Amino acid sequence: MTEENVNTNEESQSQEAAEATPSNEVKLNGLYAFKAGMSSIYDESGEVVPVTVLKYDNWYVSQLKTDDKDGYQAIQIACGPKKAKNAAKSEKNHLKSAGFENGARFVKEIRQSLPEGISLGQKVDISSLSVGDKVKLTAKSKGRGFAGTMRRYDFGGGPASHGSGFHRRPGSIGNRTWPGRVMPGRKMSGHYGDETVTLKNVKIMGVVPEEGAILVRGPVPGAKNGLVRLIKE
């Protein structure tokens, strides 16, 4: 047998052994990632497509919820170790089996049936999402503080000249003698933004495992470093 055949056999055996070795990563129906910023890429037809870059950090399975014990099936995942001074004792005990000595900064869950062979401490594979997948994306929008009705709800306002005293006010908000009160839900000045926003049918444009990056088509609500939830539809 030649040296070349020996090397080929060794490579095939090592490949078979790697395939036989169980992976310590698990694929789920969704992921959590952090917003990094926006960019643009070229699609298959050569057109420029705006994308948002999401940075994927390592998430680990911290709890398995079952119908018998919790009333529903879900997978709890955790990310980002905490400092010891900021972690409660109960939190440390709960996340110890997932590899977190002092608890985790982020603990979330994904509702789905439990994959076969899943166990505590397994790393969530970034390849859970692939190019072309359509996902439901959820994030928290930027908080803009207290705002008036023109900025918050795009009201038209009043005349800008000719002695008008009505410029950026909301106008009348009340009723007549009956019901004699302001109805709930009236659009008025108040806290603008900082709300949970969900976008449907968002397309995954790219997944780069070595860089820990996920590219989604279009803009994503929220500020940089905001947590984004991606669930397959």
Q: Which two three-digit tokens encode residue 151?
A: 């900025």
Q: Which two three-digit tokens encode residue 97?
A: 């089996």
Q: Who's near 24: CB < 8 A, 6+ residues apart?
A: 122, 123
- The pLDDT score that the predictor gives to residue 3 is 47
Q: Residue 88, class by beta-carbon neighbours within 10 Å (0-12 exposed, 13-18 middle, 19+ buried)?
A: exposed
Is-contact 31 135, C-beta < 8 A?
no
DSSP character for 102? Answer: S
Output the pTM of the full model: 0.82
- The pLDDT score that the predictor gives to residue 23 is 59
- The pLDDT score that the predictor gives to residue 13 is 42
The C-alpha atoms of residue 220 and residue 217 are separated, in whole angstroms, by 9
Distances (CA, A) of 233 to 50, 129, 156, 218, 223: 21, 11, 38, 17, 24
N residues, the chain? 233
SS3 of the chain: helix, strand, coil, percent, to 5: 20, 40, 45
Distances (CA, A) of 19 to 8, 27, 28, 128, 143: 17, 16, 20, 18, 48
Q: Which two three-digit tokens encode residue 233?
A: 């539809």
Is-contact 51 206, C-beta < 8 A?
yes
- The pLDDT score that the predictor gives to residue 174 is 86
Alpha carbon 1 to chain centroid, angstroms: 55
- Which numeric CATH code is attached to 24-144+192-232? 2.40.30.10
Q: Who's near 149: CB < 8 A, 6+ residues apart?
A: 155, 168, 169, 170, 187, 188, 189
- The pLDDT score that the predictor gives to residue 7 is 47
Averaged pLDDT, groups of 10, the chain, 233 residues long = 47 41 78 97 94 97 95 96 92 92 94 93 95 96 97 94 92 90 94 97 96 97 97 93
Q: Which two three-digit tokens encode residue 185?
A: 């839900």
The C-alpha atoms of residue 126 and residue 135 are separated, in whole angstroms, by 14
Angle at 178 between CA 172 and CA 181, to 5 degrees: 50
